[in-house]
Structure 1
Amino acid sequence: MKKWKKEILINAPIEYVWQFFYGDLHKKKMIFPKVIDENIIKQTDQVVGTVITQTYQNGSLNEQYELTIKKYKNEQNYKSYQESFLLNDRFRMTIEYELENQNETSTKFIYTSINKPKNILLSIFQLFGNSDVVDRFMSRTKEKIETAYKNEEA
């Protein structure tokens, strides 16, 4: 199992940032450019347990994953969304996006990813993994959200 946890400050209000992670597919695509579409398969009243099919562009192939929402909080100063899915039938991925209100114009974004391989051989390969992909994702997320926010304010 490999776990990454990173945080970054985004210069935009929490309610604005939240739309990029939950509810607005157009905004979600700005920080997840490989996401093509999402469809709800099973909806629950409390959101936790909802199952979503996500279509994802991987090179020239379109792949589909069934995401299950494992955690969901939508409070005034704290928002959290955790999803779990099986990646390429090899890794159980659990990803959490947390947002903490810092003040009226800034939000702390905390990203946690846990990758659990289905077999022991893949566990060995994970030992050599680094956080470059996560670092790029965090930088892109900050840049895209802040740019969109500035453009809407103008």
Structure 2
Amino acid sequence: MKQWTHEVEIDAPIEKIWNLLNGSLENMQKIMPNVVENTPIKITDEGVGSVYRQKYKEGNRVEEYEVETIEYLDSSTYKKLKVGFTLANMFDITAFYELIHINDEKTLFKYTVTNRPLKWFVKFLLLLSNKKVVVEFSDRVKQIAESEA
């Protein structure tokens, strides 16, 4: 299993960033443009245990998988969302988003991804991977949130 973490200060209110992560499909697509569907399958009152069917387009291929909410907290000064899914029956992936209120116009965004290979022959792919995708995603969240703040 590999894990990557990146954090960045964003000049935007915590709620603005939260809406990009936990809002509508339209908001989600601003930071994850390849997500083409995010349909609720099971919604729980506390958030944890909620399941969404998500479709992700990469080139001409569309991957479909179920995303389960593993952790969820929505307070005024700290928010967290951790989701997990299996991609192409080859990787178990978790994405963990944390938002920490610094002041009314500044938020600390932490993004952590874990990737566990499910097949022996894809383990070597993880050896070649780095945190570039995590940094690029964090930077995209920063750019979109600040442009809309």
The two structures, once aligned, show a CA RMSD in angstroms of 1.1
5+ residue gaps, structure 1, are 150-154
Post-superposition CA distance 1:86-118 (Å, at most 9, x none)? 011100001101000000101000000000000
**Distance (Å, rounded) in 1 between the aligned partners of 2:63 and 2:147:** 29
| Equivalent in the alignment of 1:2 | 2
Q: Which moved more, 1:95-104 or 1:128-137?
A: 128-137
In the TM superposition, what are the counterparts of 1:1-154 in structure 2 within 5 Å? Answer: 1-149=1-149
Matched AA of 1:63: E
Q: Helix, strand or coil for the counterpart of 1:135? A: helix
TM, length-normalised to structure 2: 0.95
Total equivalences in the alignment: 149
User: What is the CA-CA distance between 1:125 and the residue it aligns to?
Assistant: 2.6
Please say which of residues 125-134 and 106-115 is displaced more in the overlay.
125-134
Q: Per the alignment, in what secondary structure is the counterpart of residue 94 of structure 1?
A: strand
Question: Residue type matched to 2:105 in 1?
Answer: T
Query: Per the alignment, in what secondary structure is the counterpart of residue 133 of structure 1?
Result: helix
Residue identity opposite 1:109 in structure 2: F
Q: Secondary structure at the match of 1:21?
A: helix
| Structure 2 gap segments, 5+ residues each | none
- Look up the equivalent residue of 1:134 and give its one-letter code: V
Query: In structure 1, what is the Cα distance between the partners aligned to 2:7 and 2:146?
Result: 15
Aligned AA (2:76): Q
Query: What is the DSSP-based 3-state SS (H/G/I as helix, E as strand, rest coil) of the residue aligned with 2:20?
Result: coil
Deviation at 1:16, TM superposition (A): 1.2
Paired letter, 2:22: Y
SS in 1 for 2:86: strand
Q: 1:45 Cα deviation (Å)? A: 1.7
Sequence identity (%): 36
